[in-house]
Amino acid sequence: MKFAEKPLIAILLIGFVPSISVIFGINIIEDELISQIFFAVCKIWIFLVPTFWYLKVEKNPISRNIPSKNGIKMALITGILMSVIILVTWFLFEDTLDIQGMVDILQSRGFDSVNLYILGMIYWIFINSLLEEYVFRWFITTKSAEIFDSEMTGMIFSALMFTLHHAIALHLFGFIWWQTVLASFGLISAAIIWSWLYIKYRSIWVCWLSHAICDVAVFGIGYIILF
């Protein structure tokens, strides 16, 4: 097997798992406990596969890339700007959304109290977003760049894979087609920016900080919807 084919195997092992997790977790598995277990297994899988691939298959040493001051500055700028866009978009299109349907789905998945919502928010901002940067920005972006022999193509491919499971989630939450398309355009744009941040500064902490700031805006909107 050619070396260029190996990263494709790694990407296929993890790239569609988030989408599978969303489909089963929201639309197929009705039992809340089983849904949460399946969700956790998927998260562990997408962490372990890139780690195993990097350390055991490619036999690389553990790397610790400390973010630079310029990287942190750019993360803050991009995160704040994208958060403003998220908030403006929400206020412009809020009346077109099925808010009650979204509330029903969120409450059915355990987000029916302020304390649980805050715990979920902490998880998504500080753990899940970091895991997504680890998987999509570090691993899939770099491996896609190897396959296509182009950093730009790798960034776009990674952004498309990142957007896929989010678009599915939005559809299952009741977004109609044009709302999903609009949100997906924003997601692809954000993902490309985060991939660019990783490639430029070679630290997932930079793209994670930008991502986390955007998640604060998203969960702020979620709080308004639920409570």
pTM to 2 decimals? 0.91
What pLDDT, on the 0 to 100 scale, is given for residue 101? 79
* Mean pLDDT score of the chain: 90
What pLDDT, on the 0 to 100 scale, is given for residue 103? 80
How far is residue 91's CA from residue 24's CA, in Å, rounded to a whole number?
31
What pLDDT, on the 0 to 100 scale, is given for residue 109? 67
What pLDDT, on the 0 to 100 scale, is given for residue 134? 96
Mean pLDDT, range 180-201, rounded to an integer? 96
- pLDDT > 70? residue 5: no
Residues 6+ apart with CB under 8 A from 117: 111, 222, 223, 226, 227
Q: What does the domain layout of the chain look like in residue ranges?
A: 3-226
Find the DSSP H helices in 15-68.
Answer: 17-22, 32-52
* Distances 22 to 1, 8, 181 between C-alpha atoms, Å: 33, 22, 18
CB 193 within 8 A of CB 82: yes
pLDDT confidence band for 110 (50 / 70 / 90): low
What pLDDT, on the 0 to 100 scale, is given for residue 143? 93
Give the pLDDT confidence of 149-172 residue by residue, as tens digits: 999 999 999 999 999 999 999 988
Give the pLDDT confidence of 38-96 residue by residue, as tens digits: 889 999 999 999 999 999 988 888 887 889 999 999 999 999 999 999 999 999 998 88
Separation of first and last alpha carbons in the chain: 54
pLDDT confidence band for 3 (50 / 70 / 90): very low
